[in-house]
């Protein structure tokens, strides 16, 4: 796996969240997030994940249970997955029933989880450097710019974060100029236009089933 593909997969995994029950420690982590700047949050989150992977040979080998536990502890408290999913589905999100919305979130989570599992096993010596951030006029949304360094050229990896009651939350990621949500929005719109919302749900479920059978 090239470094570019690795970072694309990793950023997808950083947004791979739905609404599972968090570990008991998670509320404490979220409470601390309120006192952090967006830059500090992304720096800590990135390094915590990378350090955890490097320290655990089971994760490097692709242990899905350990990967899920790592994501629940380190990532889930800091992501607004509902906004990410609704933005990816676009205007069709409002047309979906609550049951369809729940199915979209579930299948999207599974898809990103499998992508993340493969990426984490490839982490070696990557490091993250925070660059100057860009803040919206109202101060409630920030683009945190980072550069991931390892073998080869540095890779641009930026995060869109928003201010929430419990702290800053990630809702999109940019790899080499391509925003993850926008990239999915294009393919999702094509599928919904051709086969409806249920068609998109079925397409995601089919991809997940195929991926599971190959494991």
Asked if 187 and 195 touch (Cβ cutoff 8 Å), the reply is no
What is the secondary structure of 49-118 as a DSSP string? Answer: HHHHHHT-HHHHTT-HHHHHHHHHHHTGGGB-HHHHHHHHHGGGGGGS-HHHHHHHHHHHHHHHHHHHHH
pLDDT tens digits in sequence order for the chain, 215 residues long = 454 555 555 554 444 332 222 222 333 333 344 568 999 999 998 889 889 988 988 888 878 788 878 877 888 788 888 888 899 999 999 999 999 999 998 888 777 766 666 666 667 778 888 998 888 878 899 999 998 888 778 888 899 999 988 889 999 988 778 888 888 899 999 999 999 999 999 999 999 898 778 75
Write down the number of H helices and E strands in the chain.
8, 6
pLDDT at 73: 85
| Structure tokens belonging to residue 97 | 């029933």
Distance CA 173, CA 170 (A): 8
Distance CA 50, CA 91 (A): 35
pLDDT at 118: 63
Domains of the chain: 3-214 (3.10.450.710)
Tokens 């926008």 sit at which residue? 182
Q: For 63-88, give one letter per residue: b (16+ CB within 10 A) or e.
A: beebbbebbbbbbbbbbbbebbbbbb
pLDDT at 27: 35
pTM listed for this prediction: 0.76
pLDDT at 155: 82
């Amino acid at each position: 796996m090239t470094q570019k593909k690795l970072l694309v997969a990793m950023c997808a995994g950083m947004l791979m969240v739905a609404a599972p029950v968090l570990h008991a420690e998670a509320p404490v982590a979220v409470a601390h997030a309120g006192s952090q700047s967006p830059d500090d949050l992304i720096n800590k989150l990135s390094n915590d994940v990378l350090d955890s992977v490097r320290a655990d040979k089971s994760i490097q080998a692709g242990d899905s249970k350990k990967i899920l536990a790592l994501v629940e502890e380190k990532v889930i408290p800091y992501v607004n997955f509902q906004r990410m999913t609704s933005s990816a589905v676009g205007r069709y999100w409002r047309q979906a029933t609550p049951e369809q919305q729940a199915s979209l979130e579930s299948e999207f989570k599974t898809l990103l989880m499998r992508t993340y599992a493969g990426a984490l096993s490839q982490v070696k010596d990557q490091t993250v450097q925070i660059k100057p951030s860009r803040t919206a006029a109202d101060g409630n949304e920030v683009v945190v710019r980072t550069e991931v360094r390892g073998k080869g050229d540095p890779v641009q990896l930026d995060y869109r974060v928003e201010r929430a009651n419990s702290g800053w939350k990630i809702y999109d990621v940019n790899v080499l100029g391509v925003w993850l949500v926008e990239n999915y929005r294009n393919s999702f719109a094509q599928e919904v236009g051709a086969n409806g919302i249920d068609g998109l749900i079925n397409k995601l479920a089919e991809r997940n089933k195929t991926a599971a059978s190959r494991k």
